[in-house]
């Protein structure tokens, strides 16, 4: 089967995370890691119910900026015709690839027979991938699964189903749906998936440090590795550089200011910052560990939390660690959504 080449610029990828990897956070991370360090990212999942998604929704998820790294649009749905047409539209408005979510454990997804519900039925997974692959002859379609629904017995079958459906890459989150986000991970499941197929497998789950990225590849045979929550706590994890507490605080201030500039209230912005602080490890800002984070998380006054971060960031900015974001490069969103403008160009494929 002729699978379109993957556009990733390095083997390390930022995971799709609902409520986190929307453009405000994602752009800040993409800007802080060169294409040689961070190979690509994904939107949070976008749910397709029974009709194709409007283009303006897809445009919003892709955001207004373009970086050297590709950002795949992740879709989740059980209506194959609506899913395939949504994927076609995603590419039309500029998505370089489409990823399919077969891991979401949320009740809404399960009721709609989407997300991790599909892990019970490899044939359905294969048919879902194929429906989207057939709709996108010139763009890679990737799939993201958990290692299984209740157990990981059939991870090989699931990997083979994704490959047979035409996926250009398979990401495996090594926890099952039943294991949710438990701390312990079993990377032998990743090795089993990687050995079962010849398409590239991206291993995910429990990558906590920069060194874990290469370790995951070495121990599992996965060609790529994906980071979720550890990137929320250390946006420089793909680069592996050490930053100071002031640099770490500057990131969080930049994040809050980006959210505020897009209309978030002080309370809303502080809430989103706290979502990162739960995982924060960079720069010793929170002293590492849960005890160090507690005083930040206990701060009930949103304005005071942001003021403390501004104080911790100090006056300076190291532009190598916290570059100011480039201007939005996209043409008029409305014209794009209505099909009267062409999408901003992506960097050419490198790997
Ligand atoms: C807040 C949150 C939201 C998530 N949303 C998505 C999503 O939209 N699509 C998806 O495929 N996985 C989603 N995930 C799962 C992550 O992509 C990843 O597989 C998981 O966090 C395991 O990786 P980690 O151990 O590095 O965090 C989400 C995880 C978290 C913590």
How is the chain split into domains, by residue range?
Answer: 12-237, 245-313
At 288 the pLDDT is 66
DSSP designation for 153: T
**Count of beta carbons in the 10 Å neighbourhood of residue 58:** 26
Pocket, ligand 1, Cβ cutoff 6 A = 15-20, 44-45, 74, 101, 103, 144, 173, 204-207, 227-230
Measured in degrees and rounded to the nearest 5, phi and psi for residue 74 equal -95, 130
**Alpha-carbon span 324 to 254, nearest angstrom:** 9
Ligand 1 centroid from CA 172, angstroms: 11
* Nearest atom (ligand 1) to Cα of 231: 26
Collapse the DSSP code of 135 into the 3-class scheme (helix H, G, I; strand E, B; otherwise coil) and give the result: helix
Q: How far is the CA of 17 from the centre of ligand 1 (A)?
A: 5
- What pLDDT, on a 0 to 100 scale, did the predictor assign at position 331? 63
Question: What six digits make up the tokens of 295?
Answer: 């005083």
Per-residue pLDDT of the chain (351 residues; tens, 9 = 90+): 789 999 999 999 999 999 999 999 999 999 999 999 999 999 999 999 999 999 999 999 999 999 999 999 999 999 999 999 999 999 999 999 999 999 998 888 888 888 899 999 999 999 999 999 999 999 999 999 999 999 999 999 999 999 999 999 999 999 999 999 999 999 999 999 999 999 999 999 999 999 999 999 999 999 999 999 999 999 999 999 999 999 999 999 999 999 999 999 999 999 999 999 999 999 998 886 778 888 899 999 999 999 999 999 999 899 999 999 887 776 677 777 777 777 765 544 333
- CB-based contact 199:227 (threshold 8 Å): no
CA distance 291 to 276: 15
Judge residue 345's burial from the number of C-beta atoms within 10 Å of its C-beta, 0-12 exposed, 13-18 middle, 19 or more buried: exposed
Cα separation of 42 and 117, whole Å? 21
Looking at the CA of residue 275, tell me the nearest atom of ligand 1: 1
- Cα gap 132→90, rounded to integer Å: 11
Q: What span, in angstroms and rounded, lies between the C-alpha atoms of 23 and 206?
A: 24
Helix (H, G, I), strand (E, B) or coil at 219: helix
Residue of 15, 44, 190 with the most ligand 1 atoms within 8 Å of its CB, for mutation: 15
Is pTM, for the whole model, over 0.85? yes
Burial of residue 340, with CB atoms counted within 10 A of its CB: 0-12 exposed, 13-18 middle, 19 or more buried: exposed
Active site residue 202: no
* CATH classification for the domain delimited by 12-237, as one of 3.30.365.10, 1.10.3720.10, 3.20.20.70, 3.90.1150.10: 3.20.20.70
Ligand 1 pocket mutation pick from 12, 13, 18 by most atoms within 8 angstroms of CB: 18
For residue range 221-260, list pLDDT tens digits in order.
999 999 999 999 999 999 999 999 999 999 999 999 999 9
């Amino acid at each position: 089967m002729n699978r379109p080449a993957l556009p990733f610029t390095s083997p390390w990828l930022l995971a799709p995370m609902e409520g986190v990897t929307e453009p405000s956070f994602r752009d800040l991370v993409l800007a802080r890691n060169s294409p040689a360090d961070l190979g690509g990212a994904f939107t949070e999942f976008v749910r397709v119910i029974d009709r194709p998604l409007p283009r303006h929704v897809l445009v919003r998820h892709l955001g207004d900026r373009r970086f050297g790294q590709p950002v795949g649009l992740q879709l989740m749905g059980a209506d194959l015709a609506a899913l395939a047409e949504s994927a076609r539209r995603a590419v039309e408005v500029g998505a370089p690839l489409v990823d399919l979510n077969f891991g979401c454990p949320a009740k809404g997804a399960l009721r709609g027979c989407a997300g991790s519900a599909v892990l019970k039925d490899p044939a359905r997974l294969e048919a879902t991938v194929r429906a989207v692959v057939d709709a996108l002859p010139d763009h890679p379609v990737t799939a993201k699964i958990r290692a299984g629904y209740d157990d990981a017995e059939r991870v090989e079958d699931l990997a083979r189903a994704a490959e047979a459906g035409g996926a250009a890459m398979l990401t495996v989150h090594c926890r099952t749906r039943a294991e949710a986000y438990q701390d312990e991970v079993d990377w032998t499941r990743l090795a089993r998936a990687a050995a079962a197929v010849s398409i590239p497998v991206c291993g995910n789950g429990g990558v906590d440090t920069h060194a874990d990225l290469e370790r995951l590849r070495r121990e599992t045979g996965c060609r790529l590795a994906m980071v979720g929550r550890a990137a929320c706590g250390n946006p420089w994890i793909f680069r592996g550089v050490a930053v100071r507490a002031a640099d770490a605080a500057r990131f969080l201030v930049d994040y809050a200011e980006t959210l505020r500039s897009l209309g978030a209230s002080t309370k809303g912005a502080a809430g989103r910052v706290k979502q990162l602080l739960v995982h924060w490890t960079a720069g010793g800002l929170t002293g590492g560990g849960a005890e160090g984070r507690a005083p930040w998380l206990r701060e009930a006054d949103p304005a005071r939390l942001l003021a403390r971060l501004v104080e911790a960031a100090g006056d300076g900015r190291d532009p190598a660690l916290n570059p100011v974001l480039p201007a939005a490069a996209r043409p008029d969103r409305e014209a794009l959504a209505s099909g009267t403008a062409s999408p901003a160009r992506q960097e050419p494929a490198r790997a």
